[in-house]
Amino acid sequence: MTQTLPTPRGALTANRPLADLTWLRVGGPADWLFQPADQGDLADFLRDLDPALPVFAMGVGSNLIVRDGGIRGVVIRLGRGFNGIACEGGIVTAGAAALDAHVARRAAQAGLDLTFLRTIPGSIGGAVRMNAGCYGSYVADHLISVRAVARDGGLHDIAAADLRLAYRHSEIPEGWIVTEARFRAAPGDPAKLEARMEEQLARRDASQPTRERSAGSTFRNPAGFSSTGRADDSHELKAWSLIDAAGLRGHRLGGAQMSEKHPNFLLNADGATAADLEELGELVRARVRDTSGHELQWEVIRIGQP
């Protein structure tokens, strides 16, 4: 904390608590929180930052448990200078801080189909990093390229193929910050696209605890793919089904709870700490391993010191 950091144009805050920036409302402080003014500000800051100091890119905190001891190094949170959305010639260009839902809606208004993004919580940077998907569609199906600032401040355009996108996986180099993504989208009638998104929202709200404090799906599906939403969708290797079969629907530990409505949603039900949430998650993993032989992998990102 005694280290001298570069002086950016954006906001740089020391010892900044992070709980209010995550959907689960848990976690200790970051040594530093940097909110760059724009891409140039981010590039200059990273170029001049001590290379030994770790950096962590944080979106809207929708898929994140920050541990109670907080994060050492610099947390970078992209904001207003990174949330633009443009639609032209069948291509949608979105800043990394643009919300997935906003991108889907803006594209639909322009007669372009990125409707799968409508129900995915979070922002485009996180969607790219996790190759987010639902209803049988993934970021990988539409992504053309991303722009990223490297740890040394260099600017790079990376083709989608070079990110090696797989189920909940991408290969973005350590310390690089995605600032923008370009998507290819099929044409569609705006009214029909809007109607499809409304139907998706209704289905999501009927099956998921959208009014509770959660971070979305907690564990990856051992099947290695998201729900397709089709009538022939198999639930045998869905994480929620294995958790349910292990008798852990609604299970509580401290202030943490597995949702009654959807057992693969970990909730901050009553003043949970990050430790409560992670401990309950590990209990679920152990019980599912014992009852089914399957090893659940975390989908929620956990970072920081206990």
Going from the C-alpha of 163 to that of each of 4, 99, 140, 171, 275, the distances in angstroms are 34, 21, 9, 5, 32
Residues classed as catalytic: 168, 217, 299
- Cα 161 from Cα 254, distance rounded (Å): 43
Ramachandran class of 294: left when φ > 0, alpha when ψ lies in -120 to 50, beta otherwise = beta
- Cα 220 from Cα 73, distance rounded (Å): 28
Going from the C-alpha of 129 to that of each of 78, 213, 285, the distances in angstroms are 14, 22, 24
**Dihedral (C-alpha) 123, 165, 231, 119: value to the nearest 10 degrees?**
0
Going from the C-alpha of 151 to that of each of 73, 141, 176, 279, the distances in angstroms are 13, 28, 5, 33
**φ, ψ (nearest 5 deg) of residue 42:** -65, -45
- Cα 6 from Cα 34, distance rounded (Å): 11
